Amino acid sequence: MVKSTFTLPDALWQELDEMAKELGKKKSHLVSEALEYYFDMLDLRLAKKRSQELKEGKETISFEEIAKEYGL
């Protein structure tokens, strides 16, 4: 676990505080959950972008290359 300090806009901090109280969770827990969700969404966007690029023929990777890379 790493401690961090960051700044939030007042309205966002207020909403975080209210949600934490309502849900009975620590603000740090809610921020961690929110970041995990956000990063999952970014991963999905990147996967879709890469998939589209593959469809457009920009780059392809063979199964053999993947197997070699991951020791399959």
- Quick one: what percent of the chain has pLDDT higher than 90? 61
HSE-CB for 70 with a 13 A CA cutoff: 6
Whole-prediction pTM: 0.67
Predicted confidence (pLDDT) per residue in 57-71, tens digit: 766 677 888 888 888
What average pLDDT does the chain have? 90
Q: Which 8-state DSSP code applies to residue 9?
A: -
Over residues 22-51, mean pLDDT: 94
Using an 8 Å Cβ cutoff, are 27 and 16 in contact? yes
Beta-carbon count within 10 A of 16 CB: 16
Domain ranges, ordered by start, for the chain? 10-70
